Structure 1
């Protein structure tokens, strides 16, 4: 509860006004039983009809006050909950955006969606309804107990005799529900992840005719979700009827003993009716306690999950005094760089000196560390040992925002938003003009197929570029990277879906661009890398060969073997012509 209440600290006035409205409603509500006493004893029993108009006006006044302040109470607490939910969602989303790449390597999208969505909504529920009812019930319980004691101490003791048992049951209920809701929260995240992955990969599912498998997999998770909710229902069903019985038992005991006092003349009928009405104000909070405990347990489990995310610190962050390099030229040097991922060595003793404007091609076997190498340039991860410098400044000392604004990357995964082609490309540069967008598309060899589309640059593409071929998506991603006009450009195997002719034209455009930027190209085809200034071949996280096309052919090493494999037909033809 303390954790949830902490979310309201920035809205003290709103909380105060809502609480004040609630207290006013409670105060006038406590007058009603007294008016019933007056109406019964003085007007009906004693015939003091002159009090009738006063009592009726009192009831009308109470109704009006409850109407006005009851509305304010409901509105203010709902407004408070909505404000907190809005801020909390923004806070969680902002924090997720600030986390490093390594955090998302092990985190499912569905789980994060559950935290931002369902878990925050659970907190909204407890603040909008639970918090109000919790405070309201405490006030009702305390004031009603005081008034009951003032009316008749013996009846009050009889009425409260079941309360310790109800309190004990409530504590047991809270402990059981807290564990159940923790399981439900975790499993809901798994259920969302399963649904999200399946919907995102629905074309693959259909292509492999795996619909039945996916349906059964979802059924398994959904059945588990059902079982957990039934477990919650069983806990609720086990304890709540007992609370209901004990609450009603108080009314029965008070009615019986109170009736005896009325018969003996120790208490008037009106006083007994007032006592029973005040007792209902006492029993109602006890009845609501079970529901409130359930709601608080659910929101408490959600709050723990949210706080767990908020407690995560970015693995990569700015130094205490970051250097803001205004114009990064693109000189890059790796000096005995080692990099490990989850304590597993990935890169070993990397030494490179790359001049600004150079084109660096990286080749190697799968898992050799090519993508890991370029991920260090953008500080997606921090090196374990050694030094990586840009323009002579250690990368850890450069302001992260400045660094990443100077690096433009086209990742292996050609991700596009569900938006127009124009807006997808403009994502690289928000204030880009249409002419700049067209120029970037022309360089990326995307202009031709865009112009063939009926709506051109206004064509709305589906989620992740659904509706476009792999090569078209890659070219749009390259255009998005080019429009940023950065000093460093990274193409991480981003021409793999292009035919050789288009790839040659695109790379030729980059090689002969007016502005020379430091370019890294990860590729598997010799045709894509042969014109690079520096060609690197990697194996097991180490650079085993480095040079240009001609020098590497002369070495007759790994690069030469790939060259002969890819051009064996051409080489055989050439040898035949020579002979």
Structure 2
């Protein structure tokens, strides 16, 4: 019932259209008894009647009227069927459009932990195949159920009107058919749930392989990936065949019972005709409408098949529909303000899946200050900066921006004040101009070029076939790692953020280009607090402060010179990167 309430809720705007379609289905299906009735009149009056010849002569107008009536009602049913199908399609497609938009917005509003838990291929399956299964059910399965039920009831009522005894004989087959259908539904339901999961795994494997095709080719792992895909495909095919074979196990019983209606009609109906209790016209009416009993019985298996698929898909959609992010946007200011850029971590701890990532982090960054963060892989650097724009929430302590807990700030406003460029760059399938101006699509072309120059990207962009109008492939295919990083940096700078976070953004550029970028960052024409994650001492040396993380804790905090003097982690990194320059360390620290 909950699923049906969900469907009804999402039919808002098309409820009247859908109800009209249901009513027309009932009316159109009810009209199926008209032609058998008219055929009965023709047989009893003009064929099997003792005065058939006289009736053909004297009541020719009635015969013509009955024949025209059969043609007219056939055309009427055809027209109703066309209009009904159109209404079903319009209503279901409109609902599909609204739900897809809603689900897309819902997914967009989820926090990062949601994407950590859900596979991309699974989300794609929900947004495509599962939604289309719901539309198919609304447009065709429910229509088939209503029409089959209406035809069955109309046929039974008409049969009782003609002869109750023969009708009861025919209905003897109904209980065993329903029992077989119930057993089939009970057995096949979990199989379709498993089938849906295997389809999701297949789509996930496909998506990962396509997204990582360069890595696959770089390691010459095409055969391995083909084998992995084949394995998933085999599992899906087996699950699909198993579900289909279950239907084949029950199909002979349903088909036998459905054909049994004709057998009973021939035996019992024939005896009643011979006894004179049933006219030839009435027997012909039974024969013409017996499909009204047998076809719905045949359709039970197909309907149950699709209904089980429908519920398996709908439950997945509802999972997204009612999912709630842990990080929500509670405030919606009319006008977004620009922050000063003061950041403070007050005894911050952060756990992910019960594993401590950050432990008692406590420091403050003043507006306009440049802070570099270093540390070994897995020390918590990226987790730390993810707490500032609230990609994740702290487990303990507070992260403050301009003296206010980020959990009390409006998310859109907070993130609009933060520019982020990461090492793992994602560029959209758009022009280079469009990628740089992603945060402000109305940005003048001159401004785009200016920020590209600040990121040391203008020179190589102008050498490309169409310059700034060059279309970059998905994820920046066609660009080098350093080029992608510079475009991502230009994109982050283009929104003129008061807080700029760079996560190892210059790791793939040469030292000369890095020096140009560092100079540009120092000479920005707007106030900007910069947090730079880096592994190169050449990047961190000019920072106002340097934080060293180790196992989620700050173990060193100071300037380049101060940390060299401490001869700790930073000193060791400096020595490794400047091997042979040990004698210059002291002098460098005094500068």
> Is the structural similarity TM-score above 0.5?
yes
Which of 322, 343, 354 is the aligned partner of 2:365?
354
* 1-structure distance, mates of 2:335, 2:563: 38
Does the residue aligned with 2:185 lie in a helix, a strand or coil? helix
Match of 1:3 in 2: 3
Q: Could you tell me the TM-score, scaled by structure 2's length?
A: 0.95
User: Cα–Cα, structure 1 residues 360 and 181, in superposed 2: closer, same or farther, change >3 Å?
Assistant: same
Which of 543, 547, 551 is the aligned partner of 1:540?
551
Work out whether residues 26 and 146 of structure 2, in 8 Å CA contact, stay in contact via their aligned partners in 1.
no
**Structure-to-structure mapping, 1:329-408, within 5 angstroms:** 329-408=340-419
Work out whether residues 28 and 65 of structure 1, in 8 Å CA contact, stay in contact via their aligned partners in 2.
no
Structure 1 position 549 matched with structure 2 position 549: no
- Root-mean-square deviation (Å): 1.8
Tell me by how many angstroms 1:206 deviates: 1.6
Match of 2:276 in 1: 265
Match of 1:503 in 2: 514
Structure 1 position 19 matched with structure 2 position 22: yes
Deviations 1:17-44 (A, max 9, x none): 2122222312322201101101111111
Match of 2:231 in 1: 220
Tell me by how many angstroms 1:309 deviates: 2.3
Q: Count residues in correspondence.
A: 576
Greater shift in the superposed pair: 278-287 or 339-348: 278-287
Work out whether residues 322 and 397 of structure 1, in 8 Å CA contact, stay in contact via their aligned partners in 2.
no
Deviations 1:103-134 (A, max 9, x none): 11132111110010111111111111101111
Which of 296, 299, 304 is the aligned partner of 1:285?
296
**Structure-to-structure mapping, 1:118-267, within 5 angstroms:** 118-267=129-278
* 2-structure distance, mates of 1:471, 1:306: 40
Does the residue aligned with 2:63 lie in a helix, a strand or coil? helix
Tell me by how many angstroms 1:239 deviates: 0.7
* 1-structure distance, mates of 2:403, 2:333: 14
Structure 1 position 439 matched with structure 2 position 442: no
* 2-structure distance, mates of 1:177, 1:183: 10
Which of 41, 44, 59 is the aligned partner of 1:41?
44
* 1-structure distance, mates of 2:33, 2:339: 73
Work out whether residues 40 and 285 of structure 2, in 8 Å CA contact, stay in contact via their aligned partners in 1.
yes
User: Cα–Cα, structure 1 residues 574 and 399, in superposed 2: closer, same or farther, change >3 Å?
Assistant: closer
- Which runs of no fewer than 5 residues in structure 2 stay unpaired? none
Does the residue aligned with 1:361 lie in a helix, a strand or coil? strand
Which of 88, 93, 98 is the aligned partner of 2:104?
93
Which 4+ runs in 1 deviate beyond 3 A? 318-325, 570-576
User: Cα–Cα, structure 1 residues 568 and 482, in superposed 2: closer, same or farther, change >3 Å?
Assistant: same
Does the residue aligned with 2:580 lie in a helix, a strand or coil? helix
Work out whether residues 4 and 303 of structure 1, in 8 Å CA contact, stay in contact via their aligned partners in 2.
no
- Which runs of no fewer than 5 residues in structure 1 stay unpaired? none
Q: Could you tell me the TM-score, scaled by structure 1's length?
A: 0.96
Work out whether residues 318 and 396 of structure 1, in 8 Å CA contact, stay in contact via their aligned partners in 2.
no
Which of 112, 116, 133 is the aligned partner of 2:123?
112
Structure 1 position 80 matched with structure 2 position 91: yes
* 2-structure distance, mates of 1:422, 1:557: 44
* 2-structure distance, mates of 1:144, 1:376: 67
Tell me by how many angstroms 1:568 deviates: 2.0
Work out whether residues 324 and 398 of structure 1, in 8 Å CA contact, stay in contact via their aligned partners in 2.
no
Deviations 1:196-216 (A, max 9, x none): 111111222122111111111
